[in-house]
Structure 1
């Protein structure tokens, strides 16, 4: 459970609800839409309770009993001389495709009273992409919404061509009446009413259950809940690791593996990204390797199952390419957005190879690397062909005007920029992707030697890695800045903004060790390091903005990769400074690291300033404390 402003967020089994402080849903959109969500769709857009004809007062606003349950205390209107006749104790829980609610009404009077309870319910079945605050609108020709009363409650129905979703409400006791709520002919909002008798100082109960049934998923799965040690009063790192593991359990979703098996993988984050993401799931799984190696095996299998097999300019699919994100919503189904399976990532494919080898290295189990040998070879082929290694000498991407302008982890428009703020033109070769490619080639060569019994293939990969490293040193190093360029643009010019991507080069090993140590120390200087974390762009540059998504904010997962790189190069003091900053930031958020922090310096505020659109919980931020532990244990 998380709380932002006066909103409450509950999550379990790939289902989440966002409610206000009284437990209501009002159909908001934009930065923090409320509702009940499953499979990229909103299955409740109104859930508004009235008692005795008015909205109840929240005596005790909603608070969390657990990650999936919230409670609050409500009353009808009253005055000092005529206090409320009864009190409503409200408990709400989410699970696999359901929202369950228990209203316990307790009389405060010495004589019998009747509580008049009404609940207005609606489902707009909006796709998550419709709910964002980006002023985009999507046509839905032939779409039909309907509402039908049943003996136990209500069914809300949505159809468009072959798309069909429902939301069903059942109530015990059954409502006395179900009536249109808005008085407009096309509204599906319905108001259900109950007249509940209360004995003197007695009580009554109302049980409500909502079942969301999205298209293609008639029975949402209940996901396993791994056993975790009981929370302790240990040090900051221990508490942050425990919170991170708990959050990753909440973010686990079901996916289909390479042989058709069901696997459980980390989704990227809530509210927008509760689905499999290539880059996010791969790095999260890498951070978790020493603690939960099974997550890596599941992620690799799910991504192998969705590996590209053809060329599709809309989805950017290419043979051997690893998917960037998968979506299950209506707009993806009708290809109104390209994200059903969207392959616009330059880095997921080499990261797939990195994780494949790292899993074998960590566990000593050859089965996953043997099972996925052909998928790995196809991934390597993609790097040399469509990925650009042969033609351009580097992994490159062309900005996608209908999808992602930037296709590295800093995927917002304008994030790959020169010091004057100008976005680089393609084909773009971002620095960290070259490091991933270098590491992927060396690691895959090790698998070819140790497991696949193909030494000639391994030797070709080692030679290619060495050549890539040589080109990178020549083309990316900015002598005057003594720092690597963020990228090369389509004309081969160095994209010269000083950016945190350089820290990923320490992790991958593509930099000369002495140059890597200079870069690591540079990242802990004040313009980069806010005192909480390393910023995405060093302060003082023209494009720097502390509230920009990728041009001055600070991302915990980015810092986790940097921490692993600092450890690799023996920069112990810098690693400890970075770890202290991140753990202090986590302590200010209940031991949970959010997706993004604003870039303000620690001397300016007593606590880290949250980025206004940050996901929380978010998978690779949740896994960051585990990566910090690994880094600290390796030095």
Structure 2
């Protein structure tokens, strides 16, 4: 998001407003508005004083979003020349929570004479689907769609109807507007004639409530949870500040979800503005990275994903029995299947990550109740890996690009992400490296649960043997002897895709690589080709495939680097883990201690300030989780001092 937008995020709702609190109806890479359940419920919110836009004296902030509720303020006044004195000042405070935007405008007279002004607010709701707003190259047909605008005693109500799809936005004002006017664009203008005595003041309170389709009342408030730890709980220094900001961002990004028995949960949404929704891989990795400090988030993530686990084969959704969902969308285009993401299962790695988190959660909490409750889901997930994903017949988890969905289905899911060193895309059925590491760790963890929790020793033995067999196959088929590094993938013909990529850090983390191979990978990951000074490049520089502005072929992702740091520490390379951690913390400090989702691959020696990646989400959940995971690297060092150093 550009810096001129302030983001207010809470409970699955967010507002993007301009520097004075206005909304203009922008589209493209940086849309503004009020958003709930994948739709824009407010597309115009523009204030004027006597027909003119006010002057911004203090702009809305663009800093932390972890407050409860999300809040921003601005100070505005009448436009005036150098010799004029504005008659009034407006103090504007906006909050977002539970499907609502509240805008309180305090109007204060500045002089010893009475003041009379006309305040007007132009409002509209276009109910645009987020996929419309993010895609400038495709026009989505909406047959028989109707938009309505209806006057209310205290404001106006906007409606949208397409067949059985019905959404509303209600704007209520206190005091009620003196007039509601139509504009040429179809928007409505709410008008107040404000009469102030000398040095007098008054307050307008406007409440915008979203009523998305399928939610007949305002969005349900999530159940209460323990308050997020205070910043002091994370200690001082760059690590403490980055952890405090990450925890605040994660709290802001948690959104309502339902469990297997329709219980209310709070799960981490992936990121703002495009992914304020449940994405399986993102929620699972975020929960794994924060398991020490937020075990409740891991619990809720597992239950929400168990509730959406596939039961039947649905080719149009890329679903097979036991598979964990990749993306859940609630918008109009998903409802009418104009995009495939209503419940979309195009991920090869969410299912093993589900098993990995279930086992790690039981170990971390010492509580096996959740593992008992989700035993059936776990067994179905294991069956999916063997019976549908290729582990049984072909020895690896595999995927093919699906029409209308994702070309790649590991975490590097952009179309050109899995490519040969010359940049040529891998084709056919793909076996990506990182998911094999997740599958290995998932089998190991599930074997532990089978033995220690479910009392199924025979199954535990089979899973352990399958894990070791997978590891042996992987080392045979993926290892590049000349490079002393694993291949990025195998293509449809079984050829090694010999690009050197950051997935190797995930393989260290999951334990597939050990001994001399782990040592070789650790050395390479901290080489100048990989380590930019801020983090690990997704593809090592020096290969034709490398591009510093490519999403998964050269850019630096903090969560990816944090996983690599954990892997380095696991392999005993604590000094290298510390070097990587220091680079990531310097990156966080350069962004006000909010870890960015992704930056470009330009090196720190050439560019002493991190070069941003265009269109990155902020805040973003697994980026917010990264500092919390780095605490493990600091505490794991043999010479570790206080975690806040």
TM range (shorter): over 0.9
The answer to whether the 8 A contact 2:291-2:361 is kept is yes
Provide, for residues 272-314 of structure 1, a one-character-per-residue CA deviation record: whole Å limited to 9, x for no partner.
1111111111111111111121111111111111111111111
Closer, same or farther in 2 for the Cα pair 1:518/1:134, shift >3 Å? farther
Give how far 1:259 is off.
Answer: 2.2
1:448 corresponding residue in structure 2: 450
Please state whether the residue corresponding to 1:390 is helix, strand or coil.
Answer: coil
Please state whether the residue corresponding to 2:392 is helix, strand or coil.
Answer: helix
Q: Distance in 2 between matches of 1:140 and 1:192?
A: 29
Matches within 5 A, 1:338-357: 338-357=340-359
Q: Distance in 2 between matches of 1:163 and 1:410?
A: 34
The answer to whether the 8 A contact 2:5-2:62 is kept is no
1:219 corresponding residue in structure 2: 218
Please state whether the residue corresponding to 1:354 is helix, strand or coil.
Answer: helix
The two structures, once aligned, show a CA RMSD in angstroms of 1.4
1:228 corresponding residue in structure 2: 228
Give how far 1:66 is off.
Answer: 6.5
The answer to whether the 8 A contact 2:209-2:218 is kept is no
Please state whether the residue corresponding to 2:189 is helix, strand or coil.
Answer: strand
The answer to whether the 8 A contact 1:347-1:408 is kept is yes
Q: Distance in 2 between matches of 1:63 and 1:499?
A: 37
Give how far 1:598 is off.
Answer: 1.2
Unaligned runs of 5+ in 2: 638-645
Give how far 1:427 is off.
Answer: 0.8
Q: Distance in 1 between matches of 2:112 and 2:553?
A: 63
1:595 corresponding residue in structure 2: 597
Aligned mate of 1:314, from 296, 313, 316: 316
The answer to whether the 8 A contact 2:281-2:353 is kept is yes
The answer to whether the 8 A contact 1:567-1:632 is kept is no
Aligned mate of 2:84, from 56, 69, 82: 82
1:287 corresponding residue in structure 2: 289
1:485 aligns with 2:487: yes
Aligned mate of 2:204, from 200, 203, 206: 206
The answer to whether the 8 A contact 1:64-1:71 is kept is no
Closer, same or farther in 2 for the Cα pair 1:170/1:66, shift >3 Å? farther
Q: Distance in 2 between matches of 1:502 and 1:85?
A: 64
Aligned mate of 1:43, from 18, 41, 44: 41
Q: Distance in 2 between matches of 1:437 and 1:106?
A: 63
Please state whether the residue corresponding to 1:72 is helix, strand or coil.
Answer: strand
Q: Distance in 2 between matches of 1:365 and 1:292?
A: 15
The answer to whether the 8 A contact 1:153-1:169 is kept is yes
1:243 corresponding residue in structure 2: 245
1:430 aligns with 2:428: no
Matches within 5 A, 1:54-69: 54-63=52-61, 67=65, 68-69=70-71
2:441 corresponding residue in structure 1: 439
Aligned mate of 1:31, from 19, 29, 33: 29
Provide, for residues 356-410 of structure 1, a one-character-per-residue CA deviation record: whole Å limited to 9, x for no partner.
1111111111111111111111111110111111222110000123110000001
The answer to whether the 8 A contact 1:163-1:330 is kept is yes
Closer, same or farther in 2 for the Cα pair 1:393/1:66, shift >3 Å? closer
Q: Distance in 2 between matches of 1:142 and 1:400?
A: 30
1:404 corresponding residue in structure 2: 406
Aligned mate of 1:365, from 364, 367, 373: 367
Q: Distance in 1 between matches of 2:413 and 2:544?
A: 19
Q: Distance in 1 between matches of 2:364 and 2:57?
A: 52
Q: Distance in 1 between matches of 2:136 and 2:357?
A: 35
Q: Distance in 2 between matches of 1:207 and 1:21?
A: 19
Closer, same or farther in 2 for the Cα pair 1:176/1:66, shift >3 Å? farther
The answer to whether the 8 A contact 2:3-2:62 is kept is no
Q: Distance in 1 between matches of 2:95 and 2:301?
A: 28
Q: Distance in 1 between matches of 2:29 and 2:146?
A: 27
Please state whether the residue corresponding to 1:602 is helix, strand or coil.
Answer: coil
The aligned length equals 629
Provide, for residues 7-49 of structure 1, a one-character-per-residue CA deviation record: whole Å limited to 9, x for no partner.
1111112111001111111111111110000111100011111
Q: Which moved more, 1:136-145 or 1:223-232?
A: 223-232
Please state whether the residue corresponding to 1:604 is helix, strand or coil.
Answer: coil
Closer, same or farther in 2 for the Cα pair 1:199/1:558, shift >3 Å? same
The answer to whether the 8 A contact 1:29-1:133 is kept is no
Matches within 5 A, 1:322-333: 322-333=324-335
Q: Distance in 2 between matches of 1:544 and 1:463?
A: 38
Q: Distance in 2 between matches of 1:290 and 1:71?
A: 35
- Which 4+ stretches in 1 moved above 6 angstroms? none
1:259 aligns with 2:267: no
Give how far 1:539 is off.
Answer: 1.1
Q: Distance in 1 between matches of 2:597 and 2:482?
A: 33
Provide, for residues 499-540 of structure 1, a one-character-per-residue CA deviation record: whole Å limited to 9, x for no partner.
000111101111232201210111010010000000101112
Q: Distance in 1 between matches of 2:161 and 2:339?
A: 19
Unaligned runs of 5+ in 1: none
Aligned mate of 2:567, from 565, 568, 578: 565
Please state whether the residue corresponding to 2:584 is helix, strand or coil.
Answer: helix
Please state whether the residue corresponding to 2:339 is helix, strand or coil.
Answer: coil
Q: Distance in 2 between matches of 1:231 and 1:351?
A: 29
Q: Distance in 2 between matches of 1:65 and 1:348?
A: 32
Please state whether the residue corresponding to 2:454 is helix, strand or coil.
Answer: coil
Please state whether the residue corresponding to 2:448 is helix, strand or coil.
Answer: helix
Provide, for residues 447-490 of structure 1, a one-character-per-residue CA deviation record: whole Å limited to 9, x for no partner.
11111111111111122112111111111011111110000001
Please state whether the residue corresponding to 1:155 is helix, strand or coil.
Answer: strand
The answer to whether the 8 A contact 2:64-2:245 is kept is no
Give how far 1:65 is off.
Answer: 8.8
Q: Distance in 2 between matches of 1:523 and 1:63?
A: 37
Give how far 1:613 is off.
Answer: 1.2
2:547 corresponding residue in structure 1: 545
